[in-house]
Structure 1
Amino acid sequence: MTNAPDPARFAHVTDWVFDLDNTLYPHHSNLFSQIDVKMTAYVSELLQLPRDEARALQKELYRDFGTTLNGLMARHGIDPDDFLNKVHDIDYSWVDPNPALGEAIRALPGRKFIFTNGDRGHAERTARQLGILDHFDDIFDIVAADLTPKPARETYDKFVGLHRVDTKNAVMFEDLARNLTVPKLLGMTTVLIVPNNFEPTFSEIWERDADNEDDVDYVTDDLATFLATLRAGL
């Protein structure tokens, strides 16, 4: 599933910005499910709740605060470092190395960034497992964002200011359409990454973002092929 990139619309791009989870690695690798389980366990232990109640609260916090971490900090004053260390204690071998993606990213002209609501350690371990870490200029993580997650406007502004990104010459790749609203407003080209053979039933209702479809310029379920096709035309 893809709408093929028009190389002419990317010829001006000097900064390539990639989300991490379910964007740089495919949704079917299911890596984030491990983090999801760890977050539920954290909420359960913190508040002494049964697992089903902890999971319901976790999803409520995600919807209301942008991330479970943000919600737990707002409501319960937790230590963010403790949370991030525990929920990212996962098995990264679930992600397969992706040489094709690495080559496609390496060949792109300009700077490349990872921009994630996770922490730097998680991003580095994931990108290293994929075999693509060395192709990025920097990682902008939730700590660099002062723990304010996407899609908050201030977080994008902080990223853009830190790296002096000319947003009209930038493109952002994301698996959540709502996280493309601000980039689109800032003048970036936007690309939504969806699961292979995507159907709406594959994602929970608050992850579908139907109201944000106008913020998406391109959709693809194969990032490596999308980038390689694009690079061939530049």
Structure 2
Amino acid sequence: MKFLGNKIRIISCCSSKIIPCDGCEVTDQLKIWYGNITNIIGLVNEVPNFHGTNYDKNVSISTAKFLTKINKNKPIHYFNIVAKILKFQNLVYKSCTNGNCRKKVQMENNKYYCSKCQVTSEKFNYSFMVNIIIYDHSESYKATIFGDKATKLLEKTANEIGKILEENGENKGINIITKHLINTIYNFKIRTYISIYKDSETYNWTIIDIKPINVTKYSQHLATLHKEADDFCKKTK
């Protein structure tokens, strides 16, 4: 904890401890604040149900990354994050046509081979694997969207998008499809997990639901946060 004039900055690397002192109200206030935040985080992490309007249960991108990292004993985490879309990197890939298989196919002798089904076909289906960069006030991060959630966001089927990419090329096609979504804001429900490959950890984020923002409610939520922060700062002066 650093004291800067009449302001306090809390700096945490891996863990931090607040040691109470007699006659110091700040430590008691910090304890109450941290308890409230912890309860909110617990609700977000333990309840996978997603309503999309209770912004008190949301966390920032930085907080979600931090909590995933320090709770490695839990394989999967769920977070609600209000963020804007910064960039789309990929949209679809060529997949198997056999039933509900979504395995990526490989080109062999001018045909498409699925290693999962071990079948070869002259045709393929496009399937969604949308990689996007989302950002908020804390930072940006990459997330992936699959299936009907991608259809919901892009308002097109995977095969419709594949056709646009074929006709216009990858870069131009992505721009045509997604330009109206850049810098739009949503309430994302994100599932995070850690995968390990060759002793290297990768933090994977999958968007499992997308809700439009109720601007009025979200503005009220931000105003409440601002007032609480302002009241806290006044008490510490």
Report the TM-score, using the length of structure 1 for normalisation.
0.21
Q: Which has the higher strand share?
A: 2
TM-score by length of 2: 0.21
